[in-house]
């Protein structure tokens, strides 16, 4: 899936995807403060009626008639980046990754005082998904049109552009969109399992229905919602999202059906039908991250992993989160990576992840923080704009660590929700340490 050249990391399966490489770490950042700012960014991206406890006070209500012309309430949700369109696919991926961050590192977030804010950020998305899924086989996947929206530079509070709602259904399927949304709902159901059991069950029921819809009526969502093709087109198809959704449904429900689905459909849907090979793929990726694989990941002279000029940091934050989680899994299992160029300890893998986050926060050749409102010079720090988008992670530097601080250079300067979402987990881990498997959100035996 891709937003023009801006590719959303729509992760297929646990712990395999994206890109990375090793860089020595620096110390001295306040990761707790960075976590607080990263979560605050999501409040600035809110659409709909803003609550009384809204902390980003320069934002106001917006999109209050969304869905009205279609006879459905689609008020709420998130704007994905610097425009005013509500794209369902990146929103779902964002919610999935925020939920995974809490599932892994909720204890650390609680210790820092940010767990409630992180859960509220997830709920803002899932409340919208409930509205967008009014029937078992209907899902609204976009509100607004990127073509008209991008011709007009307006605040969301003042927008006059088309707010048409676009949906998928059995006649116009979208397995990737429905699958990613199922994953988001399933992952979020784990987050709310103890604090709000009724809401958790509601989310899981939506996840069941969305997965069934995605699996039964197969097709790429951008063939049905064609206006999305220019922004988040379905490059890799829908197979990865079906597997991703099944994995999260198994995690959320402990229902053997979804584990069997993964085993039976892995080869056919682009994964692997043997679970040991999932681990092999994950470890091949991790070895490439630390420069000890048979095919290592490109990095900039300053040590940042690099895939593409347009919003490269989305890959960096996701890869760093995955490396962090996997390093903790290895540590708990008292194992190391067996790479082609030598063994990699869990601490070495974690050091790689830390180096990437430290680069984002300012330990780079430009001494520039790519988090707005960070600790060094940051994007548009000298601007006279009255409002600060605190916590936003911008697109980032090019392959040579260069960064042009110009408003029209959207490939490098535009932030996005899916840049920030994976960062929540690793910032919590960096600030709070590793205390073994997260017991804040233990499993249960909810069945379909």
Residue owning tokens 């920030």: 420
Once rounded to an integer, what is the mean pLDDT over residues 412-416? 93
Q: Does the pLDDT of residue 1 top 80, yes or no?
A: no
Lowest mean pLDDT of 29-38, 368-377, 405-414, 430-439, name the range: 430-439
* Residue predicted with more confidence, 375 or 432: 432
Q: Does the pLDDT of residue 277 top 70, yes or no?
A: yes
Mean pLDDT computed over every residue of the chain: 88
Q: Does the pLDDT of residue 43 top 90, yes or no?
A: yes
Taking the C-alpha atoms of 79, 208, 281 and 327 in order, what is their torsion angle to the nearest 10 degrees? Answer: 70
Residues 178/187, Cβ–Cβ less than 8 Å? no
Lowest mean pLDDT of 43-52, 66-75, 315-324, 405-414, name the range: 405-414
**Can you give the pLDDT at residue 23?**
35
Residue 32, classed as helix, strand or coil, is helix
Residue 379 DSSP code? T
Model confidence at 109, in pLDDT bands (50, 70, 90)? very high
- In angstroms and rounded to an integer, the radius of gyration of the C-alpha atoms of the chain is 20
Q: Which helix (H) or strand (E) holds 342?
A: strand 342-344
Residue 199, classed as helix, strand or coil, is helix
Q: Does the pLDDT of residue 12 top 80, yes or no?
A: no
Reported pTM: 0.90
Q: What are phi and psi of 107, to 5 degrees?
A: -60, -40
**Does 414 qualify as catalytic in the annotation?**
yes
Q: Does the pLDDT of residue 446 top 50, yes or no?
A: no
Kindly provide the b/e burial profile for residues 363-381, where b requires at least 16 CB atoms within 10 angstroms of the residue's own CB.
bbbeebbbbbbbbbebbee
Share of the chain above pLDDT 90, in %: 72
**Can you give the pLDDT at residue 8?**
44
**Can you give the pLDDT at residue 149?**
87
**Does 215 qualify as catalytic in the annotation?**
no
**Can you give the pLDDT at residue 13?**
43
Maximum Cα–Cα distance across the chain: 60
Once rounded to an integer, what is the mean pLDDT over residues 161-165? 93
**Can you give the pLDDT at residue 440?**
46
How far is it, in rounded angstroms, from Cα 173 to Cα 445?
31
How far is it, in rounded angstroms, from Cα 321 to Cα 310?
20
The single residue of 180, 215, 398, 414 carrying the catalytic annotation is 414
Q: Does the pLDDT of residue 21 top 50, yes or no?
A: no
Share of the chain above pLDDT 70, in %: 86
Range of 143-147, 260-264, 352-356 with top mean pLDDT: 352-356
Residues 293/345, Cβ–Cβ less than 8 Å? no
Extract the tokens encoding 60: 């106001």
**Can you give the pLDDT at residue 399?**
96
What tens digit of pLDDT does each residue of 111-139 get?
A: 999 999 999 999 999 999 999 999 999 99
Once rounded to an integer, what is the mean pLDDT over residues 307-316? 93
Q: Does the pLDDT of residue 275 top 90, yes or no?
A: no
**Can you give the pLDDT at residue 6?**
43
**Can you give the pLDDT at residue 280?**
84
* Residue predicted with more confidence, 413 or 45: 45
Q: Does the pLDDT of residue 173 top 80, yes or no?
A: yes
314 CB-near residues (< 8 Å, 6+ apart): 6, 7, 8, 9, 395, 416, 418, 419
- Among positive and negative, which fits the CA dihedral 359, 357, 434, 275? negative
**Domains in the chain: ranges and CATH:** 2-432 (1.50.10.10)
Give burial (CB, 10 Å; 0-12/13-18/19+) of 447. Answer: exposed
Question: CA nearest 128: which of 118, 115, 139, 119?
Answer: 139
Residues 220/178, Cβ–Cβ less than 8 Å? no
Model confidence at 7, in pLDDT bands (50, 70, 90)? very low
**Can you give the pLDDT at residue 137?**
99
385 CB-near residues (< 8 Å, 6+ apart): none
Q: Does the pLDDT of residue 50 top 60, yes or no?
A: yes
The secondary structure of the chain in percent helix, strand, coil, rounded to multiples of 5, reads: 45, 10, 45
The single residue of 83, 405, 408, 445 carrying the catalytic annotation is 405
**Can you give the pLDDT at residue 236?**
85
Q: Which helix (H) or strand (E) holds 140?
A: strand 139-143
């Amino acid at each position: 899936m891709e937003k023009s050249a801006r590719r959303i990391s729509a992760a297929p399966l646990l712990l395999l995807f994206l890109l990375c490489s090793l860089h020595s770490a620096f110390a001295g950042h306040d990761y707790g403060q960075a976590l607080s700012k990263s979560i605050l960014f999501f409040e600035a991206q809110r659409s709909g009626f803003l609550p009384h406890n809204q902390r980003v006070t320069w934002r106001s209500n917006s999109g209050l008639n969304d869905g009205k012309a279609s006879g459905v309430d689609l008020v709420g949700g998130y704007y994905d980046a610097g425009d005013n369109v509500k794209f369902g696919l990146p929103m779902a991926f964002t919610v999935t990754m925020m939920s995974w961050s809490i599932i892994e590192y909720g204890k650390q977030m609680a210790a820092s005082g940010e767990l409630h804010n992180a859960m509220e950020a997830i709920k803002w998305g899932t409340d919208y998904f409930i509205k967008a899924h009014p029937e078992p086989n209907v899902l609204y996947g976009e509100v607004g049109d990127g073509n008209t929206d991008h011709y007009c530079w307006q605040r969301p509070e003042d927008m006059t552009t088309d707010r048409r709602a676009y949906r998928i259904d059995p006649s116009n399927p979208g397995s990737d969109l429905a699958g990613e949304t199922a994953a988001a709902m399933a992952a979020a159901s784990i987050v709310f399992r103890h604090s709000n059991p009724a809401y958790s069950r509601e989310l899981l029921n939506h996840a069941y229905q969305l997965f069934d819809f995605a699996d039964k009526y197969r097709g790429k969502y951008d063939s049905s919602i064609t206006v999305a093709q220019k922004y988040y087109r379905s490059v890799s198809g829908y197979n990865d999202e079906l597997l991703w959704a099944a994995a999260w449904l198994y995690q959320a429900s402990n229902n053997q059906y979804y584990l069997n689905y993964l085993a039976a459909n892995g080869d056919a849907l682009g994964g692997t039908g043997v679970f040991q090979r999932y681990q092999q793929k994950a470890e091949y990726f991790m070895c490439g991250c630390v420069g000890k694989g048979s095919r290592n990941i490109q990095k900039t002279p300053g040590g940042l992993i690099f895939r593409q000029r347009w919003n490269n940091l989305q890959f960096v934050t996701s890869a760093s989160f995955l490396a962090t989680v996997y390093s903790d899994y290895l540590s708990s299992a008292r194992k190391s990576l067996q790479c082609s160029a030598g063994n990699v300890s869990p601490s070495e893998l974690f050091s790689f992840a830390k180096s990437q986050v430290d680069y984002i926060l300012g330990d780079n050749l430009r001494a520039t923080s790519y988090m707005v409102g960070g600790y060094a010079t940051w994007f548009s720090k000298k601007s006279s704009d009255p409002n600060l988008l605190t916590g936003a992670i911008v697109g980032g530097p090019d392959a040579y660590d260069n960064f042009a601080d110009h408003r029209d250079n959207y490939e490098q300067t535009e932030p996005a929700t899916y840049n920030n979402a994976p960062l929540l987990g690793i910032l919590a881990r960096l600030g709070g340490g590793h205390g073994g498997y997260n017991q804040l959100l233990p499993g249960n035996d909810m069945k379909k």
